[in-house]
Structure 1
Amino acid sequence: MSEKLSKSVYQLKVTLKGTKPPIWRRLLVPADLPLGKLHEVLQLVMGWENYHLHQFISGGRFFGMQDGEFSLDAEIEDENQFKIKDLLSAEKETLGYEYDFGDSWDHKIVLEKILPAEDGQQPPRCIKGMRACPPEDCGGIWGYQELLETLSDPKNPDYEEMLEWVGGEFDPELFDIGRVNKQLALV
């Protein structure tokens, strides 16, 4: 891998597959960010809470956690042994990211641009995004659609229960980039 690519910043677009209208984020990350750290960044920018297992998928290979707590399948390679630049090296290349194997939140990560690193630039940071992330454990894409339908109809018999479950309010259109970037500054 070239020295130039190591010092580059990647502009990535992360889209939660199956959502209409789409839920997505655009972010800047160092090209040499380990996949384990990318997972932490994705949790923050998407709004997940890191309650579940995850994996990255590239070219038929799987990358995930490999530590004493979890005994993962031998076919899953240690995500901390790979950097983003090891899997994405040209614009328009893609990487899969699955979070929560039960709800199966599948994300498509596209390398949109390779930018030169600038002095003082402090990636990772989110530069744009649309719509709120679905709440944890809401049942995948189908469960999320059902949740939105229930919350849009106060006469629905499950409305009060679901409203309480999401914490009293949920705006599917809300994405607070300022809050996300404050959290990213701590990564």
Structure 2
Amino acid sequence: MKIIKKLIYTTCFSSLFCLSAQVQATDMFTVKNIGMELARDIASETVLACRKMGYQVSAVVVDRNGIQRAALRDDLAAQFTLQIAEEKANAVVMSGMNSGAFRKNREDIRMDLNHINGIIIMQGGVAITAAGSRLGAVGVSGAPGGEKDEACAIQALEKFEERLEFAD
């Protein structure tokens, strides 16, 4: 009888332990985020793409939480282009879409959103995704028009398309 009780207690304890392990497993999750090297490479390539088109810009890469990972200002780009580029990238993080598309889709609240610290709703912010996961965004400022800023970012991201697609 003592052996059976001991066996029952052991089985119950083991079951509770396994059950608690399963409950705790759902309390944690894994996310992908952009690394420093990739962020640096995207910022650099974005600035170079605009330079080839004759524009002096700044490019800022933020991670999926809007934390700056890389910032680069071309030699003759205005100082304020860094802030604007970061705020464009933050708009992408907030909205989940390129900043120009968000501006177009939400014209009704654009002016209100521009009063949020750290966000500006202007074209020139592009999402960075890898294997279906949003890693962050790149914002560009300094070209004569947001469509040109965006084109530089897209060109840079296309250069790293394979690297992004096969990211772990």
- RCO higher in structure (CA 8 A, sep ≥6): 1
Bucket of the pairwise TM-score, normalised by the shorter protein? 0.3 to 0.5
Q: Which protein is richer in helix relative to its size?
A: 2
Q: TM-score, normalised by structure 2?
A: 0.32
Bigger Rg, structure 1 or 2: 2
TM-score (norm 1): 0.30
| Structure with greater strand share of residues | 1
